[in-house]
């Protein structure tokens, strides 16, 4: 639990859920310490928040640009920044820190337009900076175990994928889910897609992570169900992968009774993998004889590449914060190793800006498909 790095945060002021969640997730393992921040557009709020968080006033900044420049010049500069502002501002902020030579973590979606994400990807590459996009659920030990088993061929060739991410919190005409619901349903703040962009991209990323397959083309039906809304709240996407397999994705915010039900089902020629985010201490594997095996995080059968992230014995539940903590754990290790000149890209075990780029390609292709009457649209290379 040695503190190895210093980090800053842009966004995450009082009342913001996701910034606090990132701080807690990092705190679990304590490998990095918050030492600078621009938590709000309001400087006084930033200073008050910084005081609460134990940050010296001189490292509370009025402006993210000032922060990027000032920190870059300090001897005890932050090692990385965590960007947890509303989606539309991600691009400018991330760019500023990358240009200042600081590693970046950005909440998903990395940007609201594909071109922006591609530009960030290019800059990070040129500058050899580590850029993580926090697709939290890929951090689960059991999700990594699914990836390991599929890579080792335990379910044979992937044939068909059924994956869904339904939520129910935006099901009601007279209750749009409070402040968060309001901005998510507002195209000016959220971009051109709501449900697909928000939860559908988790589906896309999780399947890419677990299977290694690339999507060749999509056919999407993006519906606006609740009267008065303008952005999609219930989406079906048919998918074709590069290996010829098919997939069906469902993203929804109107499925009453679903909290946050990311559920993965991957059927191969020799077996099946089932994984459910709300029950993420388990992975179900079904072999060719239809025997159902239930693997728990912490069992001896878990692959070392996944098992190493566990903190507690089986049956002592780990959850969402720990999954995000696993992403940060690898991220910090990579930065530390890079500092020692020992870094190698094969060490990366977190979603990078490239995953963010793929997510935007997916959403843009789906939008095109849906707007053109649900036709097949190729995913750009």
Q: Is 79 in the site for a copy of itself (CB under 8 A)?
A: no
Nearer to a copy of itself by C-beta: 67 or 199? 199
The owner of tokens 């190729």 is 378
Q: Is 204 in the site for a copy of itself (CB under 8 A)?
A: no
- Of 127, 192, 296, 308, the one binding a copy of itself (CB under 8 A) is 296
Measured from the CB of residue 152, what is the shortest distance to a copy of itself in angstroms?
17
| Binding residues with a copy of itself: total (CB under 8 A) | 88
Q: Cα dihedral sign for 173, 88, 217, 251?
A: negative
Separation in Å, CA 105 to CA 20, 95, 183 = 14, 11, 22
Nearer to a copy of itself by C-beta: 97 or 169? 169
Cα angle for residues 134, 132, 369 (degrees, 5° grid): 65
Nearer to a copy of itself by C-beta: 87 or 272? 272
Nearer to a copy of itself by C-beta: 73 or 228? 228
Nearer to a copy of itself by C-beta: 167 or 205? 167
Measured from the CB of residue 99, what is the shortest distance to a copy of itself in angstroms?
30
From first CA to last CA, the distance across the chain in angstroms is 41
Q: Token pair of 173, please?
A: 């005409």
Nearer to a copy of itself by C-beta: 126 or 289? 289
Nearer to a copy of itself by C-beta: 180 or 354? 180
Query: Taking CB under 8 A as the criterion, which residues in 312-351 touch a copy of itself?
Result: 312-322
Q: Site mask, a copy of itself, residues 101-120, x = CB under 8 A? A: --------------------
Query: Taking CB under 8 A as the criterion, which residues in 34-53 touch a copy of itself?
Result: 51-53
Q: Longest Cα pair distance anywhere in the chain, in angstroms?
A: 64
Query: Taking CB under 8 A as the criterion, which residues in 158-197 touch a copy of itself?
Result: 159-160, 162, 164, 167-168, 171-173
Q: Token pair of 360, please?
A: 């935007």
Alpha-carbon distance 138 to 110, whole Å?
16
Measured from the CB of residue 162, what is the shortest distance to a copy of itself in angstroms?
7
Q: Are 262 and 277 in contact (CB under 8 A)?
A: yes
Letter string b/e over residues 136-167, b meaning 16 or more CB atoms within 10 A of that residue's CB: bbbbbbbbbbbbbbbeeeebeebbebebbbbb
Query: Taking CB under 8 A as the criterion, which residues in 231-290 touch a copy of itself?
Result: 234, 236, 238, 246, 248, 250, 252, 254-261, 267-272, 274, 277-281, 286-290
Q: Is 56 in the site for a copy of itself (CB under 8 A)?
A: no
Cα angle for residues 73, 64, 47 (degrees, 5° grid): 95
Query: Taking CB under 8 A as the criterion, which residues in 355-374 touch a copy of itself?
Result: 373-374
Separation in Å, CA 317 to CA 141, 235, 258, 281 = 12, 32, 21, 7
Q: Is 230 in the site for a copy of itself (CB under 8 A)?
A: no
> CB-based burial of residue 362 (10 Å sphere; 0-12 exposed, 13-18 middle, 19+ buried)?
buried
Measured from the CB of residue 208, what is the shortest distance to a copy of itself in angstroms?
19
Nearer to a copy of itself by C-beta: 69 or 314? 314
Cα angle for residues 279, 195, 87 (degrees, 5° grid): 100
Measured from the CB of residue 380, what is the shortest distance to a copy of itself in angstroms?
20
Measured from the CB of residue 113, what is the shortest distance to a copy of itself in angstroms?
28
Alpha-carbon distance 197 to 212, whole Å?
21
Measured from the CB of residue 44, what is the shortest distance to a copy of itself in angstroms?
17
Alpha-carbon distance 147 to 130, whole Å?
22
């Amino acid at each position: 639990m040695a503190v190895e790095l210093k980090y800053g945060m842009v966004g995450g002021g009082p009342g913001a859920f996701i910034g606090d969640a990132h701080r807690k997730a990092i705190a679990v393992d304590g490998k990095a310490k918050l030492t600078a921040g621009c938590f709000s557009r309001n400087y006084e709020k930033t200073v008050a928040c910084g005081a609460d968080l134990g940050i010296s006033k001189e490292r509370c900044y009025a402006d993210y640009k000032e922060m990027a420049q000032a920190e870059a010049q300090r001897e005890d500069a932050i090692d990385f920044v965590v960007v947890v502002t509303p989606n539309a501002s991600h691009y400018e902020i991330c760019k500023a820190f990358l240009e200042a030579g600081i590693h970046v973590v950005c909440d998903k979606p990395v940007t609201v337009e594909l071109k922006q994400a591609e530009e960030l990807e290019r800059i990070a590459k040129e500058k050899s900076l580590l850029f993580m996009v926090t697709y939290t659920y890929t951090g689960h030990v059991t999700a990594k175990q699914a990836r390991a088993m599929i890579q080792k061929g335990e379910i044979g060739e992937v044939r068909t994928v059924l994956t869904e991410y339904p939520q129910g919190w935006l099901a009601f005409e007279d209750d749009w889910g409070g402040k968060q619901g309001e901005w998510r349903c507002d195209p000016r703040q959220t971009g051109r897609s709501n449900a697909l962009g928000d939860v559908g991209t988790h589906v896309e990323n999780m399947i890419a992570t677990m299977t290694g397959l690339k999507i060749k083309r999509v056919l999407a039906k993006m519906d606006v169900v609740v009267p008065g809304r303008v952005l999609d709240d219930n989406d079906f996407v048919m998918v074709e992968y590069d290996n010829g397999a098919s997939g069906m994705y469902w993203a929804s915010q109107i499925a009453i009774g679903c909290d946050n039900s990311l559920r993965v089902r991957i059927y191969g020629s020799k077996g099946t993998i089932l994984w459910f985010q709300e029950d993420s201490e388990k992975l179900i594997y079904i072999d060719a004889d239809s025997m159902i095996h239930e693997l728990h995080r912490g069992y001896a059968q878990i692959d070392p590449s996944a098992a190493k992230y566990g903190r507690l014995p089986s049956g002592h539940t780990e959850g969402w914060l720990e999954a995000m903590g696993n992403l940060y754990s690898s991220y910090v290790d990579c930065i530390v190793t890079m500092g020692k000149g020992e870094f190698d890209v094969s060490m990366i075990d977190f979603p990078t800006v490239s995953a963010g780029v793929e997510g935007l390609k997916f959403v843009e292709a789906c939008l095109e498909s849906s707007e053109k009457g649900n036709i097949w649209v190729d995913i750009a290379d």
